[in-house]
Amino acid sequence: MANSPTIVVLIGYMGSGKSVVGQLLAKQLNIPFVDADAHLESETQQTISEIFNQKGELGFRKMERQMLHELLNTSSEKVISLGGGAPCYFDNMNIILDKATQVVYLDVSIPVLVDRLWLGKNHRPVIAHIDSKESLTEFVGKHLFERRPFYRKSPIAITINMQTPDEIVSKILKKL
C-alpha cells in the first residue's frame, strides 16, 4: 500500500461478510475498524430501519453519502465496511476509489447470500418485505445485476465460496 494514511474500504452485497472480515482485517493491520452502518446508527441514535421508515430510502442514501465523505476525508487510518448499497448511489464509488488506499470487493455467490440473508432479513429494510426464499433469490439476482458494475470497479475482488473469515483476510492481505 503506497499512500498514507491507510484506508481500506470493504464493499459487497448485503450478507457478504464485510463487517466480520473488516473487523479481522483491521486487527491484522493493527488499525481501527469502522462499520459504516453501525457508525451512522450511533451518530443518529436510530437503527437503519428507523431511518428508512422516517426519511425514506432517499433520506437514508443522503445520510450515508454524507457519512462516507466524513469517513474518507479524515487523516486517520482505518478499515471501513460499507453498507451494500453505498457504492451504488450518487458518485460514491468514484469518491471511494479516489480517497481510499485500497478497495476490496467481497464477491459471494447468490445462493450463499440468500441463505445468509433469509435468516436476518427483517433487519434489512431493502429486503424485509420479501416473503419467500424463492422471491429473495430472484430479488438478489436482479439487484446484483444492477450493482455488480459498481462493485467491479474495485481493484481487488475476492471470490468467496466456503472460506472462513480468517482465510478471506489472508487472501486480502496478500493483495493489499
- For residue 84, state whether it binds ligand S3P (rule: CB under 6 A): yes
Binding mask 138-157 for ligand S3P (x = CB under 6 A): --------------------
Minimum CB–partner distance for residue 155 and ligand S3P (Å): 20
Minimum CB–partner distance for residue 5 and ligand S3P (Å): 24
- For residue 160, state whether it binds ligand S3P (rule: CB under 6 A): no
- Three cell numbers at 45? 441514535
- Binding window for ligand S3P (CB under 6 A); candidates: 69-77, 98-106, 118-126, 160-168: 118-126
The single residue among 26, 68, 96, 124 that binds ligand S3P, judged by CB under 6 A, is 124
Residue (1 or 43) nearer to ligand S3P, CB: 43
- Binding window for ligand S3P (CB under 6 A); candidates: 90-98, 104-112, 123-131, 160-168: 123-131
- For residue 83, state whether it binds ligand S3P (rule: CB under 6 A): yes
Written as one letter, the residue type at 138 is E
- For residue 126, state whether it binds ligand S3P (rule: CB under 6 A): yes
Minimum CB–partner distance for residue 109 and ligand S3P (Å): 16
Say if residues 107 and 157 touch (Cβ distance below 8 Å): yes
The single residue among 48, 71, 144, 158 that binds ligand S3P, judged by CB under 6 A, is 48
Residue (3 or 42) nearer to ligand S3P, CB: 42
C-alpha 110/C-alpha 112 separation (Å) is: 5
Minimum CB–partner distance for residue 14 and ligand S3P (Å): 4
Cβ neighbours around 120 below 10 Å, total: 11
Q: 3-class secondary structure for the chain?
A: CCCCCCEEEEECCCCCCHHHHHHHHHHHHCCCEEEHHHHHHHHHCCCHHHHHHHHHHHHHHHHHHHHHHHHHCCCCCEEEECCCCHHHCCCHHHHHHHHCCEEEEEEECHHHHHHHHHHHHHHCCCCCCCCCHHHHHHHHHHHHHHHHHHHCCCCEEEEECCCCHHHHHHHHHHHC
